[in-house]
Amino acid sequence: MDRGPRRVIWLGFLSTVGFALVAYLVARNATAPFDSLLSSAVQRFESPTLTELALALSFIGSTKAAVVISVVVIALLFFVLRHRSELVLFIAAVGGAALVNDFLKHLFQRERPTLHRLVEETGYSFPSGHSMGAFALYGILVFLLWKHIPSRIGRALLLLFGAAMILGIGWSRIYLGVHYPSDVIGAYLASGVWLTASIWVYQRYRERGLRRRRRHFPGG
């Protein structure tokens, strides 16, 4: 994150290639063996405790919870920290991911799994909206908070928290039987494409602003 746009470009490229591959396999119905194997492995450990955990994580990844978290972050960025450009980045990353997810769902129109479903869901399956939203929300939070945490331990804990929430919400959708594993993986990759594109634009904007200030105030 401290090395600028080059790393973001590489991550965006890898996410794009990965999503293209997963989308191609999904479109050709070639992910069935993988989906069946991984879904069985996840659901094999079904228990009342894990079901409660999955339901809780699924709720945290829902639109209602994401909206509440986003409103809190937006209020903090706007009224407390006065970080206007970061506010725009946050809204673009989270809101844009939701729009991209809706577009992709209607593009692929994949039906949800029907076997061993613990809760009922409507709508198309690929890519997972919960997983895509979680990746965008917690991914952008990690990016925005990173520079405000000076210690390595603090940054490591931040990364662990973000990763745990993203992976946990994705796991919950597979465990509850409302998504195929390829839905979740595709969602992570698609959100990675959008998130890295948003961050790249933001970094370019910040760099141009710094260059303009240096030209106007060369000795500052």
pLDDT tops 50 at residue 220: no
What was the pLDDT predicted at 116? 85
pLDDT tops 80 at residue 211: no
pLDDT tops 80 at residue 3: no
What was the pLDDT predicted at 7? 81
- The Cα–Cα gap between 31 and 183 comes to 10
The H-assigned helical ranges of the chain are 5-27, 32-43, 48-60, 63-75, 84-108, 129-146, 152-175, 181-216
- The Cα–Cα gap between 204 and 207 comes to 5
Pick from 89, 193, 185, 186: which is nearest to 143 by CA?
89
Entry pTM: 0.91
- Nearest-10 crossing angle of helices 5-27, 84-108: 20
All structural domains of the chain, each given as residue ranges with its CATH number in brackets, are: 5-204 (1.20.144)
Mean per-residue pLDDT, 160-164: 97
Name the pLDDT band for 27 (thresholds 50, 70, 90): very high
Q: pLDDT tens, 103-134? A: 999 999 999 998 888 998 899 999 999 999 99
